[in-house]
Structures are given as C-alpha cells and as structure tokens.
Chains A and B, each alone.
Chain A
C-alpha cells in the first residue's frame, strides 16, 4: 500500500481509496439508518443486525441466528423465517462475505487494527489456522444443541458491537477492545480471517456469488505485492493473478469479501469488480 510505484503519482488519493470509502459509507449508512429511529424518530431500520424491520414492513433476520434458534430447539415464528430467507438469498447472490466487509461493524475495528499493525511494523504473534473458524462454527452449533440456549450470542462480538452502538450498551465494548488488541498484537487479521464463526458461516454462502473481483489485467502485474499486503484474505489472490490451478482471472474463493481493496491499491489497474461469468483477461 505504501510502496511507491512509478504510476502512483498519476492516481489521486481519492482514486486510491475509492472502494474503501464506498465500504465505509455503506457501513456507516447502515448504522445511521438504525440510529435515525432512536435519535430523530425516523424509523427506516428498526432492531439490529440480529433481526430488524425495514420501514416497519420488511423483516430481516440473520440466517445464522435463525439456524441457531432451530438447533436450540425453537422453531421461529414465520416473520423471522421470512427475514432469514430474504437475507440468505441476498448474500447468495452478492457473496456471503460481503456482509463482513460492507455491513459488519467489527470490520472497522479489525481494519483499524490491521492498519495500525502495518504502520507500527508489528510482526509478533502467532496466527491460528484459518480452519479454526469452521471448527468454532461447528463447536458453537454443537454447544447450542447440547445446552438448548443461544450460547454464541453471549459473546458474539458482531452483535455485541452493533448493540453497543445502537442501544448504547457500552459494557460490550470491552470485548471489542479485546479483539482490537488481539488483531494488533497477536494475530494479523486474526479475528475476521481465522476465528470468527459468523464470517465462516457467510463464507459458506459465498460459493455461488454473482459479484466477484477479477484480475483481468493480470499481464500488467509488476509483482509489487501491494494487493497481498492489504488483502484481508491474501490466499484468494494467487489462483486468479498467477493462474495457480485455474486459467480464468476470477477470484471465486468464498473467502474473498469483495472489499475491493486490491482494486484501490493496484497502480497497474489489474483488478476490477465484475460478475462471475466475465472470464475475459488481458
């Protein structure tokens, strides 16, 4: 990201942050829509990321939470099931981990931790295996089935942070500070990329996503490694960029969050946001 490149002078600061700014706008707009109700009495979105109502009519439910209530032995009311179906279809189309980079409030915390880690040059710590999140997802569902209560919701940082912001429950921020410290000092991209079972669940929805990043101009790549440095899931880039195990330039891995940060930082315009059937490459 900070590596100067021959063409960097030609691209404005804005051009280098375009997708990042769009993502921040998306995250903050969603928060603002939730807060407009309690603050100004404008109820566009009511509730929180666990379950909500758009304009008092369209229900939305976190499908992972609906799944957990079923595993715990409660069949949710039709409102929650409808909401879960809407959210499920949306993320199946746009890519499951779009939730992680465009909606989830924890993303701003872990992005800040990753940025600080790069700036401070911290290289310490030990990163857990990235499969840990699937074990955690499985173990969490098993614990839910055994105890019959929503175990994960006691500690889920995603809903803790969102509730803290929307309902003013500031005690939850302790857990968030813990995640920031963990990502900063112990494991680079440790929470979102290796541990978070919510992200693991949404990754499973990401396989059939229509919107994908493509390394269409990969012949122009000068191996500056900017994209690898900034990518929250760097392992997804290589198959598309270096034709490792595939010929087309599309990043099809469900791990990719469609954050577009690689598009931002690449001075050679290698990457672009496109659809999964766009297999053209230069």
Chain B
C-alpha cells in the first residue's frame, strides 16, 4: 500500500503545482494555528491555576473583586510607586499571586490607611476603584481572630494590642466582656472583629505580640460566611415591625441555668415548640450542696 501512495503523491503534485502550493499553505497555516492555540491554551490554564488568591496576599484598597481585578489591572506598578509606606509590592513570576499584580502582606507592612488614598488615585485603569474616597470604607480583607487557644486575651490576660492599634477602634474591633469560667472570678475581654467596619488594613496582625499572630487578615471571601438570602433574623424583624412576625409565643421557664448566664446572652429567650414537648429534664447533675455557688457551665473559650 505505502509504495503506491508514495509514488502517487509526487505524480499528482507534479501534475498540478497549484495543489502543492495549496498543500504547503494549508500545512503551514495548520502548524501556525495549532502552535498559536497551544501556547494560548497553556497560558490560559496557567492563568486559571494562578487566579486563586492565597490567604495571606491582600489587595490594595479599592481593588475590584478578584475576578474583575484580574481583568482590569495592567500590572504597571503605579500604585506601588505612589504608596508612601512601601506597603504594596508586585508579585514575581512563580509567586502564588497573579504575575505582576499588586498586593501586600499584613504581617510585613500593613496598610497605613492614608486619607488621600494615593494608590487608588495612581491606578490608570480603575482596577482600584476611584469611587473609594473614604479610606474607612475600604474593604481590603477582613481580620479574623483565628487562634483562640493562644490569644492572650482569650487566656485571660489584658494584652489588647490588636484593639488598641486598630485605626477604626471600637467599631472594627471591640472588647467583649465575658465571664472567665476558669477562675470564675475574673473577666475575659475578647477582641471581636466586626465585618461592617473592618477595612482589612492589617495593623492588628502586624502588631500581635505572639511569634505567630493569633489575629490575621484574609481576603473577605475566605474570612466570611454568608447566610442564605431568604433567612430573616427574628429579632431584627421584630424591631422593624414593632412586634413578632409569628405572634405571641408561650414562654417556658429555663431550667438548670438559674443564677448564671454564663455562655448565654441574658436577653435570649427560649421559645417553646408549637406542640407540647416532653418535660425538660436537666442533664447537668444536681450540684453538691457545698459547691452551690460554683456551677460548671462547661463553657470554655
């Protein structure tokens, strides 16, 4: 078969030089198209793989959502140049952040939240949104107190450093007073981040006194959950409507927790189910008479 084919090819080519030229043209176009598409496919795959932002890389203030940012940022570094604190840097090839895009690492140099936001003004494409004119409205990331086992305030000390350095003190980070069940006579003042005020500047992570910070900044997508869109909070609806949306509910006494509110908000009420349930049996053992004042709620930080 193959000798026949071999002899047939030159004959037909010699018969019509145009077909040889055509074949050569088709071959070269196919090779060029194939090569071009392969290279672009490779770049595309690399881009997809690299488009997941690692947890410790925080975008500058005003940065669009990550997908939009990677469409808009031309990687010119003008924001880096105009950052007066050398907070921002461009990622190198091989870094886990998309090549050439700006980011900062809060533990190294946090954002100082300049009032005139020079990085946003420097951006020529609007990848850093110029709608952002009030730096306290920036949402670079979200602080999260990730390590409650090692945070000194959770251990009962008064460190408070993250709270004190917060540029949005008492709004983005508050100290929440809690009973200390370990000593049972002291308070815990727990640093608590509020997502509606935290800009993600990273000063708390930078200044955490531990060798490895207990409070860290993450991109908001990583740090924050979300309720289903149809969920309504009963107490909010009640405040809005002036009365409960589901009418008056039977109030049953709370058994087993008299005298202490440890682990529970004092304002919380227990709502009985619509159908009468079996009588509630306290599962906590009845405290020994001598230890009446030291009820162990078993709640630990």
Contact = CB atoms under 8 A, between A and B. Distances in A.
B33 interface: yes
A147 interface: yes
Contacts of B124: 51, 53, 59, 61, 76-77, 79-80, 83
Interface in B23-42: 28-29, 31-33, 35-37, 39-41
A62 B74 CA distance: 9
Interface residues of B, number: 47
A163 interface: yes
B40 A154 contact: no
Contact of A135 (B33, B100, B127): B33
| Majority secondary structure of chain A interface residues (helix, strand, loop or mixed) | helix
A41 B33 CA distance: 47
Given A52-B78, A152-B43, A163-B90, A135 B35 contact: yes
A136 B36 contact: yes
B40 A151 contact: yes
A169 B92 contact: yes
Contact of B72 (A69, A79, A152): A69
Contact of B71 (A37, A134, A135, A149): A149
B99 to A, nearest CB: 5
A50 B74 contact: yes
Contacts of A73: 68, 71
B72 A76 contact: yes
A143 B125 contact: no
A50 B68 CA distance: 18
A146 B67 CA distance: 13
A65 interface: yes
B74 A150 contact: yes
Contacts of A172: 92-93, 99
Given A47-B81, A175-B93, A159 B75 contact: yes
A174 B31 contact: no
A171 interface: yes
B43 A140 contact: yes
Contact of B43 (A46, A51, A155): A155
A236 interface: no
Given A37-B81, A77-B124, A80-B125, A154 B46 contact: yes
A137 B43 CA distance: 12
Contacts of A134: 32, 36
B25 to A, nearest CB: 10
Interface of B: 28-29, 31-33, 35-37, 39-41, 43-44, 46-48, 50-51, 64, 67-68, 70-78, 80-81, 90-95, 98-100, 123-127, 130
25 contacts: A50-B74, A53-B78, A59-B124, A74-B125, A75-B126, A79-B125, A80-B125, A129-B35, A132-B32, A134-B32, A134-B36, A136-B39, A139-B36, A143-B44, A149-B47, A149-B70, A150-B47, A150-B70, A151-B44, A154-B98, A160-B93, A169-B93, A171-B93, A172-B93, A195-B39
List the 9 closest A-B pairs by CB distance, nearest first: A135-B36, A139-B40, A72-B71, A51-B76, A77-B126, A149-B70, A74-B72, A169-B92, A171-B92
